[in-house]
Amino acid sequence: MNDQTPTRSGGRAARRAARAAPLADHLRPIRAGLEGGTYTPLTQAEIERIHRAALDALEQIGLADAPPSGIAYLTAAGAILGEDGRIRFPRALVEDTLARANRSITLMGRDPAHDMNLSGTRVHYGTAGAAVHLVEVNGREYRESGVQDLHDAARIADQLDNIHFLQRPMICRDISDTIEMEYNSVFACVSGTTKHVGTSFTGPECVGPAMEMLHMIAGGEDKWRERPFVTNSNCFVVPPMKFASESCEVMEACIKAGMPVLLLSAGMSGATAPPTIAGAIVQAVAECLAGLVYVNAVKPGAPAVFGTWPFGLDLRTGAMSIGSGEQALLTAGCAQMHQFYDLPGGAAAGASDSNMPDMQAGWEQMCSNVMAGLSGLNMVYEAAGMHASLLGFCHESLILGDDIIGQALRCVRGIEVTDETLAVDQIADVCLSGPGHYLGTEQTLSGMQTNCVYPSMGSRTSPKEWLELGKPDLIAKATARKEEILAMRPKAALDPELDAAVRARFNIHLPAFG
């Protein structure tokens, strides 16, 4: 077994080569699925109070506007349809659903190397959103996003180690037909990355064509059902406490088609959710518990991600404050609720209110990404690339976000305390019989790659070195990396025969590569 630990044999050049070689996955300092959960802003008593409040809201207030099919599923499961048209959920129904819900969920990639185990406090970072603009950093401009922009985002994400999944971050504004836009979004993502993909559908009529395409790409419906590599991101509620009828019908169709579902509740604190952090979490939890009952009424044990996504609001202006400390707390608190229920969960973090990838964007993205990871959030959505309170997506920011997430994951990994890491023997050796410093010791050299995370884009040069290098600019470096990635043939590109077959069956707007 090659543990890739450098040795003295071979000289300095050999040791440098060994340190420069890619590490085996088990030796990397960070990776998908590191376990968080060390940051707990809510006490156990507070978690239980939020749980009881959510059950009260479901039992006493309920949700309005369920579609006829949803009413049939929910009332058959034990929910109560009131004279006011609201569906109410008895405590026993919710608790029984929680007891039998699917907790063993792995979201799969087209490449099994990218499968994500969502158990416990395992953390994964990725993109998400429905931005309508692409941020062009060179001209400092916004323009409408298109299918090529979405495909390019997928190709870039495929090359970034710390982006573990790609949920569609942009809308294809250049495709007017809704059904074509939806299946083209799926194609643009899946042909750009072999990581797990998330997407939305505007209406139930959009599901069938997309599923037909996914069956072709998977190699048949049976192969798709064995390894579904796309999730439906479903805004099944319109906060406060109302079902989104058409989205519920989409959810039903996706569940029947074997597609995992992200139950997404996205109230805005102070507008469509209570203005307090605790209240916004209560409403999001209540809505997602209702969604969990719905999913299991359609198909017991269907895979669902508990997607509490309450957002912050700047009450001075009414603008979203997704880059705020309050947003970071909302997300961390939601992660604790997911763990209380022992359910796979996701929430939003890492997005910025800034219009460009500047210093404001950096502090906003790092703050919530670190807190989400430390809280043990399974799926950190919108973790890179998102600007202008979700209105704009930036390719360069996606690349820079990979560095941010790398540092966040190092925080998630934490501090290992063992006899070896306590290093008393090293201290003795260096102080009593050594050179009086640790530079060049075997332990220092062997731990360079396994203990530390080094930025790909960020600079640690001195002012003199920076000047000698021509004063490199961070954005320019990210642009160069983007152009390098997009000049290569996509690793995730479909087999030419399969690509041709899909294009013969569907009106694919994305040009064929090369």
Instruction: CATH number of the domain at 304, please.
Output: 3.20.20.480
* Number of domains within the chain: 1
pLDDT confidence of 434, banded at 50, 70, 90?
confident
pLDDT band of residue 20 (cuts 50, 70, 90) is low
pLDDT of residue 186: 98
The answer to whether residue 136 is domain-embedded is: yes
Is there a domain that residue 33 lies in? no
Question: Quick one: what percent of the chain has pLDDT higher than 90?
Answer: 89
* 382 falls within a domain: yes
Predicted pLDDT at 266? 97
- Domain annotation covers residue 503: no
In the DSSP assignment, the letter for residue 511 is: P
> Residue 119 is part of which domain span?
99-413
Contacts of 433 (CB under 8 A, 6+ apart): none
- What pLDDT digit, counting tens, does each position of 438-481 carry? 998 888 888 888 899 999 999 999 999 999 999 999 999 999 99
Residue 380 in any domain: the answer is yes
Pairwise CA distance, residues 230 & 226, whole Å: 12
Is the model's pLDDT at 19 over the cut of 80? no
**Residue 11: predicted pLDDT:** 59
In angstroms, rounded to a whole number, what is the distance separating the alpha carbons of residues 438 and 445? 9
The whole-model pTM stands at: 0.94
Averaged pLDDT for residues 99-107: 96
Of the chain, the percentage scoring pLDDT greater than 70 comes to 96
Altogether, the residues listed in the chain come to a count of: 514
Neighbours of 173 (CB within 10 A): 17
Average pLDDT, the chain: 94
Q: Environment class of residue 99 by beta-carbon count within 10 Å: exposed (0-12), middle (13-18) or buried (19+)?
A: exposed
**Residue 123: inside a domain, yes or no?**
yes
Neighbouring residues of 8: CB distance < 8 A, sequence distance ≥ 6: 15, 442
What's the pLDDT at 514? 64
Q: Note the pLDDT tens digit of each residue in 247-288.
A: 999 999 999 999 999 999 999 999 999 999 999 999 999 999
Query: What separation in angstroms does the CA of 264 have from each of 284, 311, 348?
Result: 9, 12, 10
pLDDT of 25: 75
The pLDDT tens digits of the residues spanning 278-331 come to: 999 999 999 999 999 999 999 999 999 999 999 999 888 888 899 999 999 999
Asked if pLDDT for residue 12 goes beyond 90, the answer is no
- Residues 492/190, Cβ–Cβ less than 8 Å: yes
- For residue 5, name the pLDDT band (cuts at 50, 70, 90): very low
The answer as to whether 450 is a domain residue is: no
pLDDT band at 9 (very low <50, low <70, confident <90, very high): very low
261-273 per-residue burial string, b: 16 or more CB within 10 A, e: under 16: bbbbbbbbbbebb
83 inside domain: no
Radius of gyration of the chain measured on its C-alpha atoms: 24
The sheet carrying 133-136 orders its strands as: 141-144, 133-136, 392-393, 386-387
How many angstroms separate the CA atoms of 117 and 123, rounded?
9
